[in-house]
Structure 1
Amino acid sequence: MQIWIDADACPNPIKTIICRVAIRRQIFTIFVANQWLTLPKSAYIKMQQVAKGYDIADLVIVEHVQPNDLVITADIPLAAEVLNKQAKVLTPRGQNYTLDTIKEILTMRDFMETMRASGIQTGGQAPFSSKDRENFANQLNKFIS
């Protein structure tokens, strides 16, 4: 198993948790982003910088992910694609997406996008919190165990 991180929008506290787990558990981990990230030096952590552009990082992850790899992303279409490749998905807030749940999540995302496009104010996600960080760490430990 490898861990792939859609790192452009991944909160820094989550990157820190992932790095600690990668080093401690000796799991090869790849951060994919369109800007260079400063990460701990480790044989288990790799930074893959991609060109700037719409979904370039997503395409790299989809191309290289293998069955049973873990992908960390909040990007719902990316999650659907890697789930179809039999990888696992965890959001930075600790939500586990599965093939059983992703269709409903995609439908809700598309519905909300349509609402926003028609001028309806839908609000957004709550700010990232310490509870989100704790939830992510707990779920990551479950995946790794």
Structure 2
Amino acid sequence: MIFIDADACPKDLKKIIEEQALAYDVSYLFIASLKHFSADADQKVWTFIDEGKEAVDMYILNHVKSGDMVITQDIGLASLVLPKGVYALSTRGKQYQEDTIDTSLSFRYLHQMERKKGRYGGGPKKLSKDDLKQFSDRLIKYLAHLAGNE
């Protein structure tokens, strides 16, 4: 099962996830807060959660199990699911790993402190074609592994 932290998941990635999950016959679920609700969303693959600072993260954390995948930009969420035996992938195609997640969390903290001082502005850069390719390649590798094709 693939759980997608969909609040900040770019549209291009959603399309890649849907296409590849269907190609490999793997279940997937987009989880988003109610502020992202769309009446057009397929209720079979979308779940909308009450708004709250970490509501989507808590839903994912409470439903994910060993062998599942989580796609998220949130390093904190990744750090919580990794000990459960979950494959965690960033929206840029970086695989989060237990042996390096503490360093990632430390850098996140340092960047937050710099933002508070006004040294960094804006959000993350827009995904590049290379980011999309790296994400797609990592996703396919995981799905192929699940299917026993690796």
Read off the aligned partner of 2:137 and give its amino acid letter.
N
SS state at 1:100 partner? coil
| Matching of residue 121 in structure 1 with residue 122 in structure 2 | no
Query: TM-score under structure 2 normalisation?
Result: 0.86
1:66-81 residue pairs with structure 2 within 5 A? 66-81=65-80
- Point out where structure 2 has 5 or more consecutive residues left out of the alignment: 145-150
* 1:16 Cα deviation from its structure 2 partner: 0.3
- Point out which structure has higher relative CO (alpha carbons under 8 A, 6+ apart): 2
Q: CA deviation at 1:39?
A: 4.9
Runs of 5+ unmatched residues, structure 1: none
8 A contact 2:5–2:70 mirrored in 1: yes
Matching residue of 1:12:
11
Instruction: Tell me the SS of whatever aligns to 1:92.
Output: coil
Aligned residues: CA RMSD? 1.6
- Whether 1:36 aligns to 2:34 is no
> Which amino acid in 2 is paired with 1:56?
A
**Percent identity, aligned pairs only?**
34
Residue 122 of structure 1 and its aligned partner are, at CA, apart by 2.9
Matches within 5 A, 1:1-145: 2-34=1-33, 35-37=36-38, 38-39=40-41, 46-117=45-116, 119-123=117-121, 125-145=124-144
After superposing on structure 2, the runs of 4+ consecutive aligned residues of structure 1 that deviate more than 6 Å are none
Amino acid at match of 1:52: E
